[in-house]
Amino acid sequence: MTRSVAGTEAFWGHGDATGLDLGGLSASEERQVMLRLRSRHFEQWATAAARVGHCTNPIRVRGASTTFDASTGQPVRSYSTDSEPLGVLHLRCGNRRADVCPSCSRLYASDMFHLIRCGVAGGKGVPGRVADNPLVFATMTAPSFGPVHTAASASGRCHPRSKSPECAHGRRTACFELHDDADPRLGQPLCWECYDYATHVVWQWWAPELWRRFTIALRRAVARHLGIKPRDLNDVATVQYAKVAEYQLRGVVHFHALIRCDGPRSRDGFEEAPAPITSQVLAELVAAAAREVHFDAPPVLDENATRNLRFGRQLDSRPVRATQRLDDPERPLRPEQVAGYLAKYATKSATTSVDGGTNPHLERIKAVAEAVAAAVTPDEGCDQVPYELMSHWVHMLGFRGHFATKSRRYSVTLGALRRARHRAKKLLAQAEETGSSLHLAALEAELMADEEDTTTLVIGHWRFAGTGWQTAGDAALARAAAVRAREYDQWKAEQRRNRPEQRS
C-alpha cells in the first residue's frame, strides 16, 4: 500500500512531496503513522528526523553544551536539549547494515565508496599517480562444507549429477532445476545431515586469521619475486589493500579485496612500484599466496578433531586497470564501478529470513554456533580458550571479523571523511545564513586537513535517554523516507550521468 504523505521540506530533504511506500504495516503501525501525520508536533518530528537522515533507530540524549573561545576563555554560544521541541537530541545510530538502518547504511556505503575509490584513482589527499601502480581485484571464498542449491553452475542447472544419486541418508545428491534468484532453496543443503555444520562454524570463526596469514604470505611472496629478504621489503615496495567481507547465500563469508603494490614506504606512502611487479605478476602472487595459507583450528565438539582450514578452490585474482572493466577486458572501467562494487557489500549482513520466512539452514548454523559456545570449558592455567567468545557472534553465524578493513596507507580513513563531512556541514550552514555561495570541491584540501579546530573549546554534559523513535509507526515512517531519499539521490545521479558535462 502506498500512502501519499505531504510533509515539510525538512522531512523530505529535497522538497518533493511524492508518496512514501508504507506497505506491509500492521494495523497498529498504520494507526501510529496516521496519528503522527495528523499530530500538531509533526513539523518538529519531521525536522528531527531530517537532521539524522531519517535514521530508523536513532540514539536519544539529553543535556547541554557550551562553546568557549580557546584564546580568551569567553563563552561563544550554548546549547541545551530543553530548547528542542521534542525535548531530546537525536543522533544517528551509525549501523552499517542495510537491513537494520537503510539511512545509516547508505551513509556508511558512501564513505566506503570514497575510501576505496581514492585508493584506485586518487583524490581526497591521495595523489592521482596512485592509479599507475599495479592493482588486483581478488575474491577468496570458503571451501565446500557440503553441496547446496545454486544457480552459479556453468550449465545453469543446480547439480546435474549422473552418479551417486542418493546420499547415505537417502536424499538425492543431484538437482537438475534452474533456480531463479528469488528461489528460497538457494543456499540450502541438498542434505542437511551430510552438511558439515561444525567445520562451517569453525572456518567462519577463523576466517580473519586466514586473511591475516594471507597478507603475511603475500608480502613474503613479493619479497621473493624481488629477490630480497622479507624484512627489507619496505625499503623497496609496500602492499596496500582494501577488503570487504560478504555473506554468501549458504551463510559463510567470502572476501573481496583491492590489492595494490606501491613503492618504498615514504611519508605519503604512494611511491611508484618497482618495475618487476606488474599487475599481472601481482595477480599471480595473490593467487599463489591465497592457495598457500592454512591454519590448524583447535578442536571443538567432535572428539578433539583438528581441522586444517584453507580458502576454497573458487579463487579469483585478476589485474585491474583504469581503462578496463572487471568482467569484460574489452570494455572500459571507471574507478566508480570498482569502488561501488565493494562498498555495497560492506552493508550486507547475515539474515535468517528468505521472503519473510525462516531460513532453516541459517538457523542450523546458529544452533551449532550456540553449541560450540556452550561446549567451551576453560582449561586450567589458560586465561582464554579459542571459542569462549562465540556466544557474542552467534547472530553473525560465527564470523567475528571486521566487514571492511584496509591497510594503513591504502587511502584516506573513514575518520578523515567523517571529519570532512562535519566541516562541510558547518560551512554550508554558515553560507546559508549569510546567503553566500560555496564551492566545496575547491575546499577539499581544507576539509580533509588533519588539524582540528583549536580556536574553540566545547564542554558538554550528556545523559543517555534511550534508542529508537517513540513508536513503531515513527520508525516505519523514517525508514520509508530514507528509501525515498535514496531513490531521489539515485535519480539525481542518473540525471548527472545523462547530461553532457558543463564547464564554468
Coil/strand/helix, residue 185: coil
Across the range 159-173, mean pLDDT stands at: 84
Report DSSP letters for 69-102, one per residue.
Answer: ETTT--EEEEEEGGGSTTSSEEE------TTT-H
| DSSP for 290-354, written as a single string | HHH--EEEPP-SSTT--EEE---S-EEEEE--TTS-SS-TTS---HHHHHHHHHHHTT----SEE
Tell me the average pLDDT of the chain. Answer: 82
**Residue 238, φ and ψ in degrees, nearest 5:** -135, 150
Annotate 312-323 with b (16+ C-beta within 10 A) or e (fewer): eeeebbbbbeee
pLDDT at residue 72 is higher than 80: yes
The candidate with the shortest Cα–Cα distance to 257, out of 408, 397, 404, 97, is 404
Cα separation values, 438 from 125, 418, 421, 431, Å: 20, 19, 14, 7
Contact, 349 vs 167, CB < 8 A?
A: no
N- to C-terminal Cα distance for the chain? Answer: 45
3-class secondary structure per residue, 353-389: EECCEECHHHHHHHHHHHHHHHHCCCCCCCCCCCCCC
Q: CA geometry: angle at 71 spanning 69 and 72, to 5°?
A: 70
Spell out the residues 6+ positions from residue 90 whose beta carbon is closer than 8 angstroms to its own: 48, 49, 51, 52, 55, 58, 59, 60
Predicted TM-score (pTM) of this structure: 0.80
63, containing H or E segment: strand 59-69
**Domain segments of the chain as ranges:** 1-56+469-504, 103-145+196-406, 147-190
Tell me what the mean pLDDT of segment 272-286 comes to.
Answer: 94
pLDDT, mean of residues 48-61: 90
What whole-number distance in Å separates Cα of residue 417 and Cα of residue 56?
A: 23
Answer for the pair 53, 107: CB distance below 8 angstroms, yes or no: yes
Share of the chain above pLDDT 70, in %: 83
Query: Of 185, 200, 239, which Cα lies nearest the Cα of 368?
Result: 200
Q: Is the pLDDT of residue 44 over 90?
A: no
Question: Any residues with CB less than 8 A from the CB of 132 and at least 6 apart, and which?
Answer: 272
Listed ranges 86-100, 309-323, 341-355, 459-473; the one with the highest mean pLDDT: 459-473
| 94 Cβ contact list (under 8 Å, min separation 6) | 104, 108
Query: Taking Cα atoms as reference points, which of 354, 170, 343, 173 lies closest to residue 250?
Result: 354
The full 3-state SS of 406-461, as one line of letters, equals ECCCCCCCHHHHHHHHHHHHHHHHHHHHHCCCCCHHHHHHHHCCCCCCCCEEEEEE
Instruction: Read off the DSSP letter of residue 200.
Output: H
Q: How does 404-434 read in b/e, with b if 16+ C-beta sit within 10 Å?
A: bbbbebbbbeeebbebbeebbeeeeeeeeee
Judge whether 466 and 60 are in contact, CB under 8 Å: yes
The residues, ordered by sequence, that sit 6+ positions from 73 with a Cβ below 8 Å of its Cβ are: none
| Range 28-34 average pLDDT | 89
At 470, the amino acid letter reads Q
Confidence tier at 479 by pLDDT (50, 70, 90): confident
pLDDT digits (tens, 9 = 90+) for 399-435: 998 888 999 899 988 888 888 888 887 777 777 777 7
> Can you tell me whether residue 7 is helix, strand or coil?
coil
pLDDT at 109 over 70: yes
Cell (9 digits) for 55: 535514521
**Whole-number Cα distances in Å, 232 to 214, 222, 235, 277:** 19, 11, 6, 16
Q: What is the pLDDT of residue 74?
A: 84
H or E element at residue 260: strand 253-262
Give the integer Cα–Cα distance in Å for 263 and 112.
24
Given this model, what pLDDT does residue 322 score?
53
Task: Give residue 8's pLDDT.
Answer: 42
What is the predicted pLDDT for the residue at 225? Answer: 96
295 alpha-carbon distance from chain centroid: 26
- 168 three-state secondary structure: coil
d(CA 462, CA 59): 12
pLDDT of residue 281: 95
What is the reported pLDDT for 194?
Answer: 94
